[in-house]
Structures are given as C-alpha cells and as structure tokens.
Structure 1
Amino acid sequence: MVCCDALAIPLCLLISMVLRLGGPAQVSSYGYWPYLLITAITVIVFHLSGLYRAVIRFIDKHLLIKSGLALAAVTLVTYLTAALFNDQRLPRTALMIYWFITFTYVVCSRMLARDFLRTHTGLLRRNKRNIAIFGAGEHGAQLALSMRASEKYQPLCFFDDKHIFKHHTVAGLKVYSSARVAEIIEEKSIQLIVLAIPHASRQRRRQVMSMLSETGCQVKMLSSLVELSDDKVSAQAIREVKIEDLLGRDMVPPQEDLFAQCVRGRQVLVTGAGGSIGSELCRQIAALHPTRLCLLDHSEYALFMIEQELRVRFPDLALTPYLGSVCDAPLVERILRENQIGTIYHAAAYKHVPLVESNVIEGIRNNVIGAQVIAAAAAKYQVPTCVLISSDKAVRPTNIMGASKRIAELIFQAAALQSTTTTFCMVRFGNVLGSSGSVVPYFQAQIANGGPITITHPDITRYFMLIPEAAQLVMQAGSMARGGEVFVLDMGEPIRIIDLARTMIGLVGLTEKNAEFPDNEIEIKYIGLRPGEKLYEELLIGGESQPSEHPRIMVTTEYALEPAVLAQLLNTLSQACATLDEQRVKDVVRDIVPEYAPQAAVSSPAAPPAPSDDAPQRETVPMVA
C-alpha cells in the first residue's frame, strides 16, 4: 500500500496542479520538490490514521473516512499556513483539489483491492447461495448490504407488498410483489428466502411462512432486534425457523404482579419437576427468588438434569430434590412437613394418550391417586396455594388419559369445597410446542429421515402454546385463584396438523410427495386416529367462561361431585386397580366422568353421543355447581 501510494500521490498532485493552472507548461515551473514533500506528508498522515495497519480484505468505510478526515485536516492546515505567511510558491486552491482527488483515489483503490482479494482468496465463494429477502424495510436493506461481504449468501432481490416499494430498488436490489414469488424463485434460481420482518406479528409471520412453504424453497428468519446483540443487522443474524414461529399468534406476556405472587419469599414444591412443563416451572420459579424450591420426580435422570441445570444457573438458590412418586403419601407429607411448603404446582402426570390407553391401570394410579395424595396432603398441612396442571383432553374425554385428568380436576374441586385454608385451582391448556412427544419435534425427526410424515387424520386440529406460556399461566393462575376455578389460556384459533406439516416441509426447502407430484421428497401418510384420540380438542366443558385479572386468561367454575360421593367412587376405583381388571376400571371411570366416551374417538367430539333406548342407564351421580 505504501509503494502504491508513493507512486499515486504525486500523480494526484500533478492532476490537481494541471486543473488549477490550466496546462503542463505552467506546472513544470514549480519543480519536483512539492511532489516529494506532499507525498511524504500524506504517507505519514495515512500511517498515523491506521490506514496501513488495516487488512485490505476487511477494510471498511469507517477507516477510509478517518483517513480522509486526517488528510483534510493536514490540507487545511497547509492552506491556512500558506495564507498566513502569504506564501505564493504553491497555488493554495490546488491543495483543495488535491484533497478531493487523493481521497477519491484512496477509496477507489482500497475498494477495488478488497473485492479482488476477496474473490481470489476464497472469502467470497463461488458456490454462494442465491437468496431473496422477504421484507424490504430497514432491516432487510441492512441485511442485503451485509451479505455482500458474506461467505454464504448472495442476495438477488426483495419481496414486499408495501405500496411504497412498488417498482423501486432497495440496497441495489429490485423489489417484487409476493404474488410473483414462485416465478422469481425459478427465474433467479433462488435457494433460500430470509424473512426480514422481525417486528411483524407472529400470525403475520406464520401466514408468510405458509405461503412461502408452497414454493419448496427453504425459509429462514432474521432474528428480532431483541435477539441481536446490537442494532446492526448482519448475515450472522439469520437463523433457522424456531418452534415458536409456527404458533401463529403472539406469545401471551405475563403480568408481573401476578407472576411472582405465589413464589417470591415462599417455599415451593413442583411435582414432576423433570418433565417438560415441570422443568420450565422450576426455571421460572427459581428466577423469582423463592425461599426454597423442592423438586419431586420419579425419574432419576430427569430429576438429576433439572437439579444440575438449576444449581449452575442459580447458585444461591436453596434447592432440595426428592426422588419418588407423588403416589407415595408418606413421602409427600414428609416434604410438606419438613419444608413448610407455601405453594404446590402439581405437574406430575402421564400425558401420552396411546401409552396411557394401553396401560390403563398405571395411568389411573399415577394421574388420579397422585392428585388425591397431593390434595389431601396440601389440605392436611394447610398449604396456602395448590395448583393442578390439567389438559384440554379432560373436556369430554375420549381416552383414559383425558378421563384421568378430569378425575384429578374433580378431586381438586372437591378439596376446594372442603378446605378453608388451602386455595385449590386448576389450569387447563392444549398441546405444548417443544415438549417431549410434541408433534413438532416428531415431524422434524421424520423430515430429517426423509419421511414419510405420519398424521392420524387430515381434519385433525389442535390448540398449541409454548412451554414458557404454559409455565407462566400456571403461576399466574395460583395468584388469581379463590378456590375451585379452572383457568384457561385464550389460545386463539386451533391449528390444522396437516397445514403445520406442510409448512414444516416447505421451510426446509422440500416439497410434498403425492400422486400429483410423485418425484417430490416428503410424503404425508394418514394412519387413522389412534385409540382414544379426538379430531378436535376443547377447552371448556360448559362452553362459558369469564374474564380474569389477566386479559388473555379465562376462568370458569364447572360442575363438581359431592365430596362424599367422589370419595366413595375413588375408593371403588382404587379397588378395581388393585384387581388389575381394566374393564372394571373403565366402568368406574365412566361412573365418575359421565361424559367419558371412548367410542367418540372416530368422530367429532362436539358433544357426547346420546344413549340409545336399549342402552343400560347408569345411576345419576350427585353433582354440585
């Protein structure tokens, strides 16, 4: 760089002198000393500004501007000095022209050298991926500019439907309407589309992803500014589509005053602490400074993992893990007695419908007897708050898992009717994205293996929420509870599982294989509804709800059994489990939960089927509102 500048700077001064004096003849009278002096001064200035310490391949505009300002300062000082002493040996206005020409030379030479070196040293690979950017706003423009120095990406165009971008270019790239996505992808051989709309609602992003997935082009996201370390957008901010991007609605934020009310300053017990919901509950509780956090789980591995994570993340947290089952009444009572528990979050349960359906007795024992033990111990030791984590499958259940969760709700409702010292409540929500056994990781694994994706029915729908949302709902419900309520999150519209699968196929750049397109990559197979599985899930039995203190959480008080009647039925159920008679267990379950209708698994469960005239009539169970 020094050698090039030593040759070019005298030429820059010569051009400046010719432009100022009008021709070579006038210039020759000044001799060669001005060229040597100016070159020496300029090289020294460039050295002091750091220009010669820069690696050309990574030089940026900030260093060039700094060098230009330093050169301008020297030129200005020289001009003022000559004017002050009325020195006529060099035309002073030629110095101004010299600065402009020299700065232009510095910028152009470094940019050309940078592009040349990047091209010929592998920094800009020839196999860069052709990409399009969806969203031609500020973030999309910054992303396109940063990608020109990227090793991976070559931006070719924008897609945006805003009227202000119509027939315009942004960052040197043409903006197209989203209606032409398929056409432009084929025309320009686009391999990847990046969504640069970080401030759009999650519903809008999901609509865009669904539309783009039909093109068969891979889709990635630009991180939101919250996820970025600063306000600059770079190619490194491109990420894979996350599970929460598929939710189709914005996450429901917690209310801080409700969030910590049952946790801060209390000793808290979480059952099922190693599970998907239980472990997230532990993380959020630990951040709110409880006096002590007690963990109970019957899985040694799950309990070990969450304990180690919490000890690393919260070294000052008083933490006590207990290995055992919620069905072990002496163990549960010892935990409450030794720790003076102030809040219980009962998350321990078997939740996988097919597994519980094929292991009826164990499912009933864990889900029903576990709830019975927790409710009885909480009342005995006067625990202020006890929250049951239930499921939407408890509403008009068509499987044993859902029925067991409804019985657990009835147990807590009966406990609420009898207790004056413990506030019992229930939280009911739908499928949790990203939890163990969740449909999204299941589909991801099937896509990674080349398919097929297996779906039970083309019309099946589900409500979805995120694990943090589920944990926050549970914690806020305990703060709002007065006794016996069921809290339900406003989860928006249910999502068709087939639409979710097709979106996930498209997001990884693959296409659905079917009779019309037999050469595509991923096939979707329908395997039929599994035993006890519904087409549609519901959140309310009675269909009516009231607003709560949180605008997105609904509350309802549903029918309950008389505590004495429920106790007698539960005793009968326990005896049936002891005899290992599955049919007898199912009969007793139907006595406790009249709306339990396993035959409804093959049709819409909008309402329980009406009994026929020939069907045996069961005795009506006394209920209370």
Structure 2
Amino acid sequence: MVSVLILNQIYYLTRSEKLILDAGVVIYGFISFFLLFFFRVLVKRTYQIINSTISIPSVYALITSRADILIWEGLISEHSDSFNVVGFVNLDDQKMLTRIHNLPIYTIAQLKESNSIAKSIIVSDEKLQQIKDNNNSVLAELLDLKLKIYKLPKIENYDSTTSFSSLKEIKIEDLLQRSPIKLNNLKLSSLYKDKTILVTGAAGSIGSEIVKQLVPFAPKKIILLDQAETPLHDIALCLDKDYPQLNYEKLIANVRNKKRLREVFTTYQPQIVFHGAAYKHVPMMEANPIESLSVNFRGTRNLAELSTEYKIERFVFVSTDKAVNPTNIMGATKRAAEIFIQSLAKQDNQTTFITTRFGNVLGSNGSVIPHFKKQIQEGGPVTVTHPEITRYFMTIDEACQLVLEAGGMGNGGEIYVFDMGSPIKIVNLAHHMIRLTGLIPNKDIAIEFSGLRPGEKLFEELLADKETTLPTHHEKIMIAQATHTYDSSQDFQLTKLLEFVKQNNINESLKQLKQLVPEYQPIDVNDFKVSESDPNIQKIASYTEVDKKN
C-alpha cells in the first residue's frame, strides 16, 4: 500500500495527475490485507480440522498453576499440528480461569462425569515429579479414567520437532521413582577418576548401569567381565554408540574360575572392583543349590581373595535384602559371602571391603516388571504368587547411584543398607501396570494367584530383627550393625564350606551353610497356599467388582 502511494505521488509530479485517488489506495489496501489474513486463518484452521479427524490425537493438558497456562499457550500455537488439546485438567485448589484458548478447564471430578473425548493426558516432567511428591493418588485417579499419561520434555529441551509421537508414555518406574538422589560428585570423581575399575556381572542390569554411571567420572579404563557372551556383546555395542570416548575391555570369564580371574588381575591391574556377578532367581537356585553356592559364595570368595592379594584399593560387593534372615538358598549364599567379606575386612590388609544391601530393582532382567509386561501384551492372565506378598523396589539408576556413593564410604567391613521406601504390594503393582496400558484389571486382563514358590517370603527385610542402623552423610544410606558379628570361629566353617562346594557335595554343603548362617530357616510354601476361601481373595474380589464398574 505504501509502495502504491509513493508510485502514485511520483506519477502525479511528472504527469500532474494521479492513477488513483489516495483514499482509494488506502481502502483497497486494507481490504486486501484482511482478505489475505482471513484466507491464511481459514487455510490453517481447515488443515487443523482435517488432521484432527485423521491422525492428530486428542489430548488433555494437565495444569497445576497459572505458570502452566503460559507454557501451554505457547505449545498449542507452536505444535498444533502434533496434538489436538481439547481441554485442560486443573489440579490447583484455587479457581483460575474457566477457559483457555476457548477450551474448557476440568477438575478431575468433572472429568469423571463428562464424556471424555480424549484418551490421553500430557503432563510436564516437572509437574509429574511434584504430583508424586505431594499426592500420588492423582495419578491413580487419572489411570482409573483409562487415560494414557504422557510426559512432556523439560522446557529447555523443547524444539520445533517436539510432537506427540515423540512424547514418552509414563512407565511403572515413573510412578515409583522417588526424589532425585544427590551424589557427592566431587568426592566420587576423586575416587574413580583415572582408575582402572573391574565390574563383574557387567552384562547384567546392575552391572551395566554401574558401568554407564562410572563414565562421567572419567576412569582410566573399565573392565567388563561376564560369562554371558551375547549380553556382553550388546552392552559393548551400546557403549560404542553412546560413549565412544570410553576406554574399556570386555572379557568372558566365570567368577568360579580363580585361575582365569588371576590372569585378569595380572593383565589389567584393576584398582577398584564392583562385584555384581551372581545367581539371583530364587526358585531356580532352590532347584540348583550347589550352583548357587559355587557362584554366590565361592565366586565372591575368589574375587575377594585376589583383591587382597593384588592390593585392590576398594572392593564393593553387591548383596541383597534376601540375605537377611534368609529362607532360601540364594539369600543364604549371599549371607555366607557377606560373612567372608567381613572376615577379610577384619584382617590387616590394604583393601577396603564394602557390602551394599538393597531390595528388588525395577525392570532388571528377570524381575516382575518385564514378566508382567509380557503377560499383559499376551492378553493375560497376570500371575501374582500371593495377594499379600510385598517387596521393596527401587529403580536401576537409583540403586547404582547409591552403590557408587557407598563405594566411597567407610573404613571397611560395613554393610550399607539403602533406604528402599515403603514396601509395595505386588498385586497393586499389577493393577497399576494394567491400568497404564488403558485396560481394566480383572475385566480386560485377569489377575490370578499361583501360590508362593519354593524359598519365597511374603515379606522381605532389609535388616535382621535385632539389627539397628547408624546414619551416614547420605540420607538414603545407613550402616547396618549386624548382630551376627564375625568372629574367628567362623573361619573353620568358611573353609569347610568351600571344600564341600569344590567337591560338589550338596548335602554336606547345605549342612555347613546352616551352621555358618544359623538364621537360615527354609520355609514350607504349603503354609501359604492360596485358596478361594482365603479372606484376601475375597478382598481382591471386591476390588474386581469396583474395576468392572469403572
């Protein structure tokens, strides 16, 4: 319009007449501008409507404060082609607005009463953590509405490529994850930097995560030792891709073979050892007790003795809560290994021996989470051993962070117990996992009770009955003051147990194990059989009726 006015004025100066009246230029200019503007709006809105009916998912957006409104206003305008926000869910007690972008704002109660047109809700990562810290029942209510919950990336990670397809659906680990752990990075860096570190069981869930979490501390070299060829190859491929700068060696070796382990110590001269190699499946070890003793006890002994011989700076042993008042072979063999570690710690040597003890790890190989996921994918039923069975859980990254932190503590011989939070009912875990898939427990996916397996407890313990704990500088790590204090009389028992294990003498090995670990009391699973008349089953049945109504 300005250009036309200028040309019109130039023409007037040269020809003494105008092509068009100035008023006409202004009028026609404004008409053209508004026509173009409304045409662009029409095209954009038509595109949005077409895509929303074809492929763009309809979602709710969760808000907890006025600040969230500003974030979502920007996201809606920038990413309207990725997800179609049809409403907002407000968790703030104070009344905010009634509509945003001409979209309704619901409370959870109103959402229950409305005919939901969206099947998903998007929650920012920061808000998800706040909800879990303050009121985890909100997430359960959202799951009851059969809404899939997606996590929005952190604000600093937003970019033009953010879309609904790239959003991550929350997992059971997200629901159970606790507040982030604060590590003493300065101290850990001085401990692990430029060191050669041996990690046994490096292809397993715990071992591989320890390796990954050691990377930021710039070790000189990490030795990955495992007997499982394919998983070790897989973790090596992962390291090559994600940490190309990492200097590491991958070694196939069995911790039962002391001669092979000696070659490893001689060749690579490790300075720190994280020992995570173990047999851990309780029912499997009940059927193969000599193998459990051979790996969990003898293998640990081999590594610990070589660590003393080669003057390793620190030896960190990964134990388990099942070593407390053990009712199964796996727990008893781990307790026997703990006693041997304590015996070495009592001696005057240069190696600092540390034992870490924690419960179940979410998502680890062979754990209940992958098992339930597979059963849900296959359409059920989801099998739980007993309606009252509970377990302590923590995520893999949380467990390994605490292992690294504990590895820098103590003077040797301590058993460090991790704060596992409150125990979780496995049946509740199954209910949450089914709801996370948008299905209803005992309606879409059945839950069945199979009865306790050999050696399995109803309740796990982190500390023996008469044990107490002492605090450390880290709020989530305590020192267990074991009542089963090591004394020299146990040397003979440890020696005899090793002899019987080497001979593959099952009967004598078990007899010696019970002498060494007197608190080991196998249980009769028949005492915990599940029957239809069990009041717990009746309680579960009442839950089922509620689920069916929902």
Q: TM-score, with normalisation over the residues of structure 1?
A: 0.75
In 1, the alpha carbon distance for the partners of 2:118 and 2:241 equals: 44
Distance 1:96 1:564, change over 3 A: farther
3-state SS of paired residue (1:432): strand
Partner of 1:317: 246
Say whether residues 1:194 and 2:147 are aligned partners: no
Q: Residues 92 and 301 from structure 1, CA distance in 2 versus in 1: closer, same or farther, beyond 3 angstroms? A: same
> Shift in Å at residue 76 of structure 1?
9.5
Give me the whole-angstrom Cα distance separating, in 1, the residues matched to 2:10 and 2:476: 73
Q: Which residue of 2 aligns with 1:252?
A: 181
The 1:603/1:183 distance shift into structure 2, 3 A limit, reads farther
Structure 1 residues 200-209 or 462-471, which shifts more? 200-209
Matched, 1:545 2:477: no
Q: Which SS does the other structure have where 2:206 is aligned?
A: helix
Provide the C-alpha distance between the structure 1 equivalents of 2:339 and 2:4, rounded to a whole number of angstroms: 87
Amino acid across the alignment from 1:421: Q
Among 385, 388, 391, the residue aligned to 1:462: 391
Deviations 1:334-392 (A, max 9, x none): 22222221100001101111111111110111000011111111111111110000111
Whether the 8 Å contact between 1:399 and 1:596 is mirrored in structure 2 is: yes
The 1:447–1:309 alpha-carbon spacing in structure 2 relative to 1, beyond 3 Å, is same
Per the alignment, residue 310 of structure 2 pairs with: 381
Q: Judge which range, 90-99 or 490-499, deviates more.
A: 90-99
Amino acid corresponding to residue 449 of structure 2 in structure 1: Y
Deviation for aligned residue 1:78: 8.2
CA contact (8 A) 1:203 1:249 kept: yes
Given that residues 132 and 193 in structure 1 are in contact (C-alpha distance below 8 angstroms), is that contact kept between their aligned partners in structure 2?
yes
- The answer to whether residue 451 in structure 2 is matched with residue 523 in structure 1 is no
Mapped partners of 2:527, 2:160: distance in 1:
52
What are the residue-to-residue correspondences of 1:61-72 with 2, within 5 Å? none
Give distance in 2, aligned partners of 1:199 and 1:114.
31
1:158 aligns with 2:88: yes
Distance between the aligned counterparts of 2:47 and 2:122, measured in 1? 28
1:498 matched to 2:427? The reply is yes
Kept in 1, the 8 Å contact 2:292–2:330? The answer is yes
AA paired with 1:168? T
Question: How far apart are residue 522 of structure 1 and its match?
Answer: 0.2
Q: CA deviation at 1:569?
A: 1.1
Distance 1:452 1:144, change over 3 A: farther
Q: Name the amino acid aligned to 2:81.
A: A
Deviates more, 1:591-600 or 1:453-462: 591-600
Q: Secondary structure at the match of 1:354?
A: helix
Q: Which runs of 5+ in 1 are unaligned?
A: 1-37, 39-72, 514-519, 605-625
What is the DSSP-based 3-state SS (H/G/I as helix, E as strand, rest coil) of the residue aligned with 1:213?
A: helix
Q: Identity of aligned pairs, percent?
A: 33
What's the offset of the Cα at 1:227? 8.0
Describe the superposition over 1:16-48 as per-residue Cα deviations: whole angstroms up to 9, x where unpaired.
xxxxxxxxxxxxxxxxxxxxxx5xxxxxxxxxx
Partner of 2:81: 149
Structure 1 range deviating more: 405-414 or 256-265: 256-265
Instruction: After superposing the two structures, state which structure 1 stretch, 423-432 or 536-545, moved more.
Output: 536-545
Larger of the two Rg values belongs to structure: 1
Q: Secondary structure at the match of 1:427?
A: strand
User: What is residue 21 of structure 1 aligned with on the other side?
Assistant: none
Aligned to 1:371: 300
Give matches, 1:90-169, under 5 Å: 100-116=30-46, 123-126=51-54, 129-135=57-63, 137-138=68-69, 139-145=71-77, 148-150=80-82, 153-165=83-95, 168-169=98-99
**1:391-422 deviation line (CA, Å, top 9, x unaligned):** 11111111111111111111111111113311
Name the CA shift for 1:232/1:602 in 2 (closer, same or farther; >3 Å). farther
CA contact 1:206–1:247 (8 Å) conserved in 2: no
Q: Flag the 1:485–1:584 CA change in 2: closer, same or farther, 3 A.
A: same
Name the count of aligned residue pairs. Answer: 519
d(CA) in 1 for partners of 2:388, 2:27: 75
User: Which residue of the partner structure matches residue 534 of structure 1?
Assistant: 457
Contact 1:222 1:237 in 2 (8 A): no
Match of 2:139 in 1: 209
Question: What do residues 229-288 of structure 1 show as CA deviations (whole Å, max 9, x unaligned)?
Answer: 449965345322234312142232322123333321111111111111111112222342
**Distance in 2 between residues matched to 1:181 and 1:227, nearest whole Å:** 31
Between 335-344 and 312-321, the greater mean CA deviation after superposition: 312-321
Which residue does the alignment assign to 2:541? none
Q: 1:569 to 1:543 in 2, by over 3 A?
A: closer
* Residues 313-340 of structure 1 deviation map (CA, whole Å, 9 limit, x = unaligned): 4344332222111121222222222222
Q: 1:413 aligns with which of 342, 360, 364?
A: 342
Match of 1:566 in 2: 490
Seen in structure 2, the aligned counterparts of structure 1 residues 500 and 134 have a Cα distance that, compared at 3 Å, is farther
> What SS is found at the alignment partner of 1:249?
coil
The answer to whether the aligner puts 1:398 opposite 2:327 as a matched pair is yes
Deviation at 1:170, TM superposition (A): 1.9
| Native 8 Å contact 1:203 1:250 kept in 2 | yes
Shift of the 340–248 alpha-carbon distance from structure 1 to 2, 3 Å rule, reads: closer
Separation in structure 2 between the aligned mates of residue 418 and residue 410 of structure 1, nearest angstrom: 13
Does 1:588 find its partner at 2:512? Answer: yes
1:159-308 to 2 correspondence within 5 Å?
Answer: 159-165=89-95, 168-184=98-114, 187-196=115-124, 198-201=126-129, 202-203=132-133, 206-215=136-145, 217-225=146-154, 228-230=157-159, 234-308=163-237
- For the Cα contact (< 8 Å) 1:534–1:603, is it kept in 2? no
Q: Is the contact made by 1:265 and 1:290 (CA closer than 8 Å) also made in structure 2?
A: yes
Mean CA deviation greater in 561-570 or 428-437:
561-570
Alignment map for 1:342-353 (pairs within 5 Å):
342-353=271-282
- Segments of structure 2 that go 5 or more residues without pairing to the other structure are 529-550
| Higher mean C-alpha displacement, 252-261 vs 140-149 | 140-149
Instruction: Select which of 357, 380, 385 maps to 2:286.
Output: 357
- Please give the secondary structure, in 2, of the residue aligned with 1:382: coil
8 Å Cα contact 2:255/2:299 also seen in 1: yes
Letter in 1 for 2:116: K
How far 1:538 sits from its partner (Å)? 1.9
Worse overlay, 292-301 or 94-103: 94-103
Is the contact between residue 451 and residue 522 of structure 1 (CA under 8 Å) also seen in structure 2?
yes
Q: Distance in 2 between matches of 1:173 and 1:290?
A: 53
How far residue 504 of structure 1 moved from its aligned partner, in angstroms, is: 1.3
- How has the CA–CA distance of structure 1 residues 100 and 552 changed in structure 2, closer, same or farther, with 3 Å as cutoff? farther
Q: How far apart, in 1, do the equivalents of 2:231 and 2:152 lie? A: 31
Cross-structure match for 1:623? none
Report SS of the residue matched to 2:270: coil
Contact 1:534/1:600, CA 8 A, preserved across alignment: no
Contact 1:160 1:177 in 2 (8 A): yes
TM-fit CA distance, 1:449: 0.4
What CA deviation, in whole Å up to 9, does each residue of 1:470-527 have, x standing for no partner?
Answer: 22211111111211112222222222222221111111111112xxxxxx21001111
The one-letter code sitting in structure 1 at the alignment partner of 2:86 is: L
Shift of 1:591: 1.4
Distance in structure 1 (CA, Å) of the matches to 2:8 and 2:477: 73
**Structure 2 match to 1:61:** none
Normalised by the size of structure 2, how large is the TM-score?
Answer: 0.85
